[in-house]
Structure 1
Amino acid sequence: MPELIFPGPEGRLEGRYHTQPNPDAPIAIVLHPHPQYGGTMNNRVVYNLHYAFHRMGFTVMRFNFRGVGRSQGEFDQGIGELSDAASALDYLQAMNPNSKHCWVAGFSFGAWIGMQLLMRRPEITGFISVAPPANMYDFSFLAPCPSSGLIINGTADRVAPPKDTHALVGKLREQKGITITHEEIEGADHFFRDDEVHMKPMIDTVQTYVRRRLTESTR
């Protein structure tokens, strides 16, 4: 998969970019977990999400937030990271001007950034939030949430406890005009460590959801 260096708000950003032969292919961006706790674009969940979207026919990109890997800059408490994500989406859209569908997926801290990006970019048609840390970050900016999407978490998550995810889902489901789908992977921790028992079912659930949404959009 081609390595990518593209301009960000604080210098270059490092990414991985996987194209489709179809110039009209939908596009997706995948956002990684917290940089100060070892989060990078090569995180297992992010890596698996990236390839899941590509298998579904998306041109997909993941990248390192500022200060991670070869990306320039320093951690900025989520403010700068949101700007990084916006720059990445700008780049992806510029490279794929014929795309009709745009999705954002994020894991943990990346899910929080992804949901903020959703609020700023009305062209995003769907989202995937894996293990959103609703106990650590305020998600009240989702008022209203502009797109339907999937929130998925593990029942044994101690980093972002399920009860907080349930509360977030409940608040979002009170809003009209969108559909929030919520799925849980039995026994999975925050990182979906067991590939066969936890990671694979999570990715399968994501693919089933996205494929259904794509099918519905073509009717």
Structure 2
Amino acid sequence: MQARTVKISFQGAAGPIDCVLDIPMGTPRGWALVLHPHPLHGGARENKIVTTIARACVQSGLVAVRPNFRGVGESAGEFDKAVGETADMLHLAEQFEKAYPDEAAGKWVLAGFSFGTSVAAQVYSQRLEQAGKIPDALLLAGSAVDRFKFRDIHVPADTFLVHGEIDEVVPLTEAMEFAREHALPMVVVPDASHFFHGKLIILRQLIEQRLAAV
């Protein structure tokens, strides 16, 4: 599916949140918030796994929102170990719902890669405690949720976990501990590294299959 990309800014607790929207042609059926890896290790919204997930979301008819976390690109602030980043994404979600009510009334997919999984899981947990809408799907690739956890985590039983067999950043055993703690199944891609080198097509297919059920 073809898409157009537009730049937009939302307002976070530390100032502007630098974002792009990947907008599918035709009428969107909802939106996706796709969160990037560790800002202090080169993580940004242009990350290949983030863009792969975003393309899968667009293919599924969702507007994909790709923000830069604090201190990345034109986003204000400094790295805050997921605490400030989670607050910022909660602000972003509220602002998106007001600015794009038609898209926000549809399906909402929340996705993250690596550090972004921790922010995503904590955003989901916070929204679960509020009266507002919660995401219809939570997608976590290369899960590092517990490394940056600052609150209790509550994730849905149908959370989609995908991990590389030979992940050199977040070992498979660590991801399995998270999956076991939350009673979640996990898809393991054979011979895939943390960044899914040479496996992005497989990753995209897996994401598209999950989105087909949303």
Q: TM exceeds 0.5?
A: yes
> Equivalent residue for 1:199?
200
> Equivalent residue for 2:51?
47
1:136 CA drift (Å): 3.0
TM-score with structure 1 setting the length = 0.86
Matched, 1:77 2:81: yes
> Equivalent residue for 2:131?
none
Identity of aligned residues (%): 25
Matched, 1:163 2:169: no
1:134 CA drift (Å): 5.2
Are the aligned partners of 1:2 and 1:17 in contact in 2 as well (CA < 8 Å)?
A: yes
1:131-210 correspondence to structure 2 within 5 Å: 131-133=142-144, 136-138=147-149, 141-142=152-153, 144-146=154-156, 148-173=158-183, 180-194=184-198, 198-210=199-211
Q: 1:130 aligns with which of 141, 147, 152?
A: 141
Task: List structure 1 segments (4+ residues) > 4 angstroms apart after TM superposition.
Answer: none
Any idea what the Cα deviations from partners look like across 1:79-133, whole Å, max 9, x if unmatched?
1111121122122222332323211000000011100001011321211000012
Q: 1:100 aligns with which of 85, 106, 109?
A: 106
Aligned pair in 2 of structure 1 residues 146, 185: CA closer, same or farther (>3 Å)? Answer: closer
1:145 CA drift (Å): 2.5
Output the amino acid matched with 1:5: S
| Paired positions, count | 202
TM-score with structure 2 setting the length = 0.88
Instruction: Please give the alpha-carbon distance, in whole angstroms, between the structure 1 residues aligned to 2:161 and 2:151.
Output: 16
Matched, 1:111 2:122: no
1:10 CA drift (Å): 1.1
Q: What stretches of structure 2 of length at least 5 have no aligned partner?
A: 129-133
Output the amino acid matched with 1:128: L
Are the aligned partners of 1:14 and 1:71 in contact in 2 as well (CA < 8 Å)?
A: yes
1:9 CA drift (Å): 1.3
RMSD across aligned C-alpha pairs, in angstroms? 1.8
Which shows bigger deviation, 81-90 or 14-23? 14-23
1:138 CA drift (Å): 4.2
